[in-house]
Amino acid sequence: MNTSASFRDNISYIHMDLNVKIHQTGMFLPFHRWFVHSVEQAMVEKYGFSGGFPYWNWTIDAPDFYKSSWWQDSDTESGLGGWGDPDKDYEVQDGAFAGFALANPSYHPMRYQYTAQPFAAFATSSPTIAQFFNSTMLETYANSTFHADQIAAIIAGNPSDLVNFQLSPDNWIAGMR
């Protein structure tokens, strides 16, 4: 980690470093529940934080994530600001994170860039990576892969069965291959 990193930088780095171990696996939900709780507890212990972390009902925004009001709040105290400006390397221009500096992996301003088809670029930029995705995955829109009914089925479909709970997201994603 970067020695000039802030507490926030370190939390982000930990999440980023564990990305391939916790996303798109059965560990996604339990890890994030634990991680958010741990960060909140650290904020209480380290900084005397007395509020609660806000809850985001992602099911409201999932159908059209790019145009979600979540990203349109330019309030300088609480707003996330809009999507970054592509003419300024996607740097956030308004809201509480405008000009917010991050230290990992090296110093840079906060950036937001939305990629509607996250795998599409591999088709032309990296044939080596693209071979692991079929054409359906390469053309898939990010907001079409994660719906409340799918999550509810994963949770409700494996009562007291940790092994199949672990396999459910893997099998669901494998179905796209």
Q: What is the pLDDT of residues 15-40, one digit of tens each?
A: 888 887 887 677 777 888 899 999 99
84: exposed, middle or buried (Cβ count in 10 Å: 0-12, 13-18, 19+): buried
With 60 as the cut, is the pLDDT of residue 50 above it? yes
Model-level pTM? Answer: 0.65
The pLDDT score that the predictor gives to residue 28 is 79
pLDDT, averaged across the chain: 80
The pLDDT score that the predictor gives to residue 55 is 79
Q: Which residue has the higher pLDDT, 47 or 77?
A: 47
With 70 as the cut, is the pLDDT of residue 169 above it? no
The pLDDT score that the predictor gives to residue 12 is 86
With 70 as the cut, is the pLDDT of residue 171 above it? no
Residue 101, phi then psi, degrees to nearest 5: -95, 140
**Sequence-separated contacts (24+) of 135-138 with Cβ below 8 Å:** 136/176, 137/176, 137/177
Please report where in the chains the tokens 């790019």 appear, as a residue: 66
With 60 as the cut, is the pLDDT of residue 172 above it? no
Q: What is the pLDDT of residues 73-117, one digit of tens each?
A: 788 877 888 888 999 999 999 988 898 888 887 888 989 888 888
Q: Kindly state the average pLDDT of the residues 57-82.
A: 81
Confidence of residue 145 (pLDDT cuts 50, 70, 90): low
The pLDDT score that the predictor gives to residue 44 is 94
Confidence of residue 177 (pLDDT cuts 50, 70, 90): very low
